[in-house]
A and B are shown apart, each in its own frame.
Chain A
Amino acid sequence: MLNGTEDEEKWLAEGIAGIQHNAFYMHRALDSNNLREALKYSAQMLSELRTSKLSPHKYYELYMRAFDELKRLELFFKDDSKHGVSVVDLYELVQHAGNILPRLYLLCTVGSIYIKSKEAPAKEVLKDLVEMCRGVQHPIRGLFLRSYLAQISRDKLPDIGSEYEGDADTVMDAVDFVLQNFTEMNKLWVRMQHQGPGGVREKREKERSELQDLVGKNLHVLSQIEGVDLEMYKETVLPRVLEQVVNCKDDLAQYYLMDCIIQVFPDEYHLQTLETLLGACPQLQPTVDVKTVLSRLMDRLSNYAASSADVLPEFLQVEAFSKLSNAIGKVIEAQLDMPAVGAITLYVSLLTFTLRVHPDRLDHVDQVLGACVKKLSNIPKLEDSRAMKQVVALLSAPLEKYNDIVTALTLSNYPRVMDHLDIGTNKLMAMVIIQSIMKNNSCISTADKVEVLFKLIKGLIKDIDGADVDELEEEDFKEEQNSVARLIHMLYNDEPEEMLKIICIVRKHTMVGGPKRLPFTVSSLVFSALRLLRQLQGQEGDIVGEEASMTPNKIFQLLTQIIESLSAVPSPELALRLYLQCAEAANGCDIEHVAYEFFTQAFLLYEEEIADSKAQVTAIHLIIGTLQRMNVFGVENRDTLTHKATGYSARLLKKADQCRAVYACSHLFWVDDQDGIKDGERVLLCLKRALRIANAAQQMANVARGSGGPVSLFVEILNKYIYFFEKGNKQITSSAIQGLIELINTEMQSDSTNPDSVADAFLASTLRYIQFQKQKGGVMGEKFESIKL
């Protein structure tokens, strides 16, 4: 067995030598116009093709040699002035050869001339040839012989418009001939599987696939026949081809030929004969890769549909979708061992098809998804990564097509398909969905859709049982949660009622997200609710009272609950910020007690949860800033809160922080509004206190390090003085400013002070400002006049 190839090479070489030898004598006979000798040597030459020792590949080489020689012989035969025998006689003469294979090759060669001579109708000659070829039952030899027949006859078919056109049924004759040759070739080809030379199955299949094009060429020829119109294709060609395909019961042949049919005939024919074509699929052998066949068909049809809008009515007319859908169902039903990936691939193709052909028929899309769910539910766990990929493709297709998640949300089966994804893929898909929403800026505006959407992306919303949390990269997690947060902003409805529902749903889903997710989602949710609040305010008057459920109070309650959920995280800084936001919103709504409550919560957090000194500084500034803008409070409440704020300011750890917080507090007593509070005395108190703290800081610095503390604190306080001075606070006098400037100058010149360029520059520009105001003249100029620099 080892030197099998070597032997084969030897046999091929011998065969070629035999052909060359006889061809030499044949040429001599041709040159001397000796018909008898020509026949003798050509028959001997062709006898080399009787070998059984060669593989198809090598046999083909031999065949091609003989083929070339036959072309020369044909030229000789054609010229009856050379041999003096009529073509009719020649047709008989070649049949005297004793061996069948050479005889039939010669017969085909003369037959071709016979047709050309038009001494007999093409159909008669062809019929005779195709019948006589039955004598060769050896698979490889028969295939090549018939291939030769197909080759020499393809331009001599009695097709409509051909010079060999015959009577009324002429096309039928041409079709019959090709079909018959096709059928016989296919039979031989299939038989190779069982009769071929011994050897392993794979080798035989490989050899067979080398020969497939010989068989398929017939279908190509059929498709080239002009006279084969839709009618004939439908009534004759397709049924007969399919009959052969189904009956041959050979998986290799069935797969190849189905594919061949799909590729060689025009799309519109497929469309009009869909039922027939699809009807054959469940009848194929269980091992045939029907899914690829169907996928290719659907791809072709999809492309066809995409090629022109004019053809779409055709698709509707033949109910292409339901036919394909049925066929797929049957195939999947019939092929129980088809792997999941196969079935899903089919559904993807069908989906692609329907999206292209019937973009308006969402029910089709849903139907496909539903079928897929049904299939998937029979599989305990989808582990095949290829199958998973296909599911993602299945789910992504509608998104890409509609560019609009809203459409996908109406598909009831969409989430059910997603349920079958593994955790990683599920998340991936959820991200795809969110990205699609972002990209297309789609707004999801009803509670129902939001509900569905959150079901779809639940992989991102909460931990799924069995998920390995550690596995997840921090980066990815952040990315995911940020996406969810962004998504929440895309959920919007003008109707407050609906919007509230949306918020409630989002809340319901996000609350289960666990401590890691909440910080991301809660703020989005809070701002979403705040937006609703503003919305409500905008419409105030017409709705309030009528819709009792929709009072701002309710929303504030909701907000409180939402923010409280952060305590579980815990994330006090975030919660504090959100409380302040809410307080501001309550201020806007003019609900004092609510605003007060929020501040209370903020202060509680500050007291109990925020221990870090830096965080405290930030928090206290936030509180001060917010409080400053509040105008809803009565004197009492305001006093309580400002008192708290100043108190906390003075209790910060670092002196510098204390100082800054305290002078910031001064703004709490001076709101630069028309009817804002203007308590100049307490402003001054704050500033003086700040100065004291700054002094203390200076001294502490001297003691601790032997050098002066930051002069900049003084400059900052100076700026506050100037601010309030300008605003007309009577308690702030020019002399006080004057004094402060002098104090700063003294400090600056003190030996112990380190030169500080930033502070210098700050001071310089502050002074420049005063100078500027002085020179400006007018009211302001007069005010500043008294300050001496």
Chain B
Amino acid sequence: MNFLIEAFKPACSISIKFSDGKTRKRVPIKRENGQTLLAPLFRNQENIAGKITIEPHQGKRIEHNGVKVELLGQIEMYLDRGNFYDFTSLVRELDVPGDIYERTTYPFEFSMVEMPYETYNGVNVRLRYVLKVTVSRNYGGSIIEYLNFLVHNYSPPPSINTSIKMEVGIEDCLHIEFEYNKSKYHLKDVIIGKIFFFLVKIKIKNMDIEIRRRESTVTGATNHVETETLAKFELMDGAPVRGESIPVRLFLSPYELTPTHRNINNKFSVKYYLNLVLVDEEGLRYFKQQQITIYRLPLQDT
């Protein structure tokens, strides 16, 4: 039965290597099956160059209609039947139609590639970059190999970064003021703040701060919003009295955050919120949500 297996095996193996593969930073990405693997990391407008090696199996001859490599930037909407939208598509022809008898290596280069969006893995949407090598054939199907890579884009520290300060309350019941030191945080930042209690008439059991991610996707005419709580961090245990001030210090590094994404290719947005939640003894929740912006500073890739 061996020959049957032989028949379905690709006729050749294709490997894609980046020219700076040994030195380039690699970061873990999650795959659909839950495994993580390390993928090389690029930035917008970097040159992406490397070599593609095609090695036929056991001296087989591969007859093809041409070999090409594509660099694709794709947005995949799970709710839209898994359709892909390529927002970037670059092609390099590597070989004219003919036969490959032996191991053949093709260098390739995409220079100054426009990759404005970061790689993103969300609930309903995925944005990915991939190198796609195609050995076109008439029969037996084309032989295709993919290589995922990541793109992170850095922002400089914002020139204006005001604190968030707000008084909220329920009349004659609860009146607090909260303050977070910034409105924009980088991925490894620390949220410093305090909650000041002006009036407390309810029996508070505890107070948490949550980091929530709101992913909204646009599929055709419909708008879909998915909210995830990424962090739940207890700020206070027990009931405070009037005049009490509770410190906030939340390190962002332990959480899997991404930068805020605004209207990516008219397809989706990812926004972050800080949600202050007070829970009373009956389990009732009182909360106030504040949007924050998250950005990526250089050298914050892990």
Binding site for B on A (CB under 8 A): 50, 92, 95-96, 98-101, 103, 131-132, 134-139, 141-142, 187, 191, 195
Contact = CB atoms under 8 A, between A and B. Distances in A.
A138 B238 contact: yes
A148 B77 CA distance: 53
B245 A99 contact: no
A137 B237 contact: yes
Contacts of B241: 137, 187, 191
6 contacts: A99-B234, A101-B237, A103-B234, A137-B237, A195-B238, A195-B239
Interface string B237-271: 11111001111010101100000000000000000
B235 interface: yes
A697 to B, nearest CB: 109
Interface in B226-240: 231-240
A135 B236 contact: yes
Contacts of B234: 98-100, 103, 135
B254 A96 contact: yes
Contacts of B236: 100, 135-137
A418 to B, nearest CB: 53
Given A134-B247, A135-B234, 5 more contacts: A96-B254, A135-B237, A137-B238, A137-B241, A187-B241
Residue of B238, B239, B249 with most chain A CB atoms under a 10 A cut-off: B238
B254 A137 contact: no
A336 B240 CA distance: 35
Interface residues of B, number: 20
A132 B251 contact: no
Given A98-B232, A137-B244, A137-B246, A142 B238 contact: yes
Contacts of A100: 206, 234-237
Contacts of B235: 100, 135
Contacts of A95: 249, 251
Contacts of A139: 238
Nearest to B203: A195
B293 to A, nearest CB: 22
Residue of A50, A95, A137, A141 with most chain B CB atoms under a 10 A cut-off: A137
Nearest to B194: A134
A138 B237 contact: yes
Contacts, number: 55
A744 B235 CA distance: 126
A136 B251 contact: no
Nearest to A101: B237
Given A95-B251, A96-B254, A50 B237 contact: yes
A682 to B, nearest CB: 113
Contacts of B245: 134
A187 B253 CA distance: 34
Nearest to A140: B238
Interface of B: 206, 231-241, 244-247, 249, 251, 253-254
Contacts of B233: 98
Contact of B238 (A98, A132, A136): A136
A187 B241 CA distance: 10
Nearest to B245: A134
B255 to A, nearest CB: 9
A187 B238 CA distance: 13
A138 B239 contact: yes
Given A134-B245, A135-B246, A137-B244, A96 B251 contact: yes
A253 to B, nearest CB: 15
Contacts of A50: 237
Nearest to B244: A137
Contacts of B254: 96
B237 A132 contact: no
B286 to A, nearest CB: 16
Contact of B247 (A92, A99, A132, A142): A132
A46 to B, nearest CB: 12
Contacts of A142: 237-238
Contacts of B249: 95, 132
Q: Which 9 A-B pairs have the closest CB atoms?
A: A138-B238, A137-B238, A100-B234, A137-B240, A96-B254, A136-B237, A99-B234, A135-B236, A100-B237
A751 B276 CA distance: 135
B188 to A, nearest CB: 10
Contacts of B231: 98
Nearest to A102: B234
A134 B236 CA distance: 8
Nearest to B233: A98
Residue of B240, B244, B249 with most chain A CB atoms under a 10 A cut-off: B249
A8 B246 CA distance: 31
Contacts of A191: 241
B179 to A, nearest CB: 15
A344 B244 CA distance: 42
Nearest to A190: B241
A491 to B, nearest CB: 70
B186 to A, nearest CB: 16
A95 B251 CA distance: 8
A43 to B, nearest CB: 12
B244 A134 contact: yes
A453 to B, nearest CB: 62
Contacts of A137: 236-241, 244, 246
Contacts of B251: 92, 95-96
Nearest to A184: B244
Contacts of A138: 237-239
B202 to A, nearest CB: 13
B238 A141 contact: yes
Contacts of A195: 238-239
Given A92-B251, A96-B251, A98-B232, A134 B238 contact: no
Contacts of B247: 131-132, 134-135
A495 to B, nearest CB: 76
A477 to B, nearest CB: 67
A139 B238 CA distance: 8
Contacts of B246: 134-135, 137
B237 A141 contact: yes
Nearest to A145: B237
A195 B237 CA distance: 13
B177 to A, nearest CB: 15
A196 to B, nearest CB: 11
A90 to B, nearest CB: 13
Nearest to B235: A135
B241 to A, nearest CB: 7
A141 B240 CA distance: 13
Contacts of B244: 134, 137
A136 B254 CA distance: 23
A135 B233 CA distance: 12
Contacts of A98: 231-234
B207 to A, nearest CB: 9
Nearest to B190: A92
Contacts of A99: 234
B55 to A, nearest CB: 42
A373 B191 CA distance: 67
Contacts of B239: 137-138, 195
A210 to B, nearest CB: 19
Nearest to B204: A137
Contacts of B206: 100
A195 B240 CA distance: 10
Nearest to A139: B238
A96 B251 CA distance: 7
A95 B250 CA distance: 8
A320 B253 CA distance: 61
Residue of B232, B234, B241, B247 with most chain A CB atoms under a 10 A cut-off: B234
Nearest to B231: A98
Residue of A99, A100, A101 with most chain B CB atoms under a 10 A cut-off: A100
Contacts of A101: 237
Contacts of A187: 241
A644 to B, nearest CB: 103
Residue of B235, B237, B249 with most chain A CB atoms under a 10 A cut-off: B237
A50 to B, nearest CB: 7
Contacts of B238: 136-139, 141-142, 195
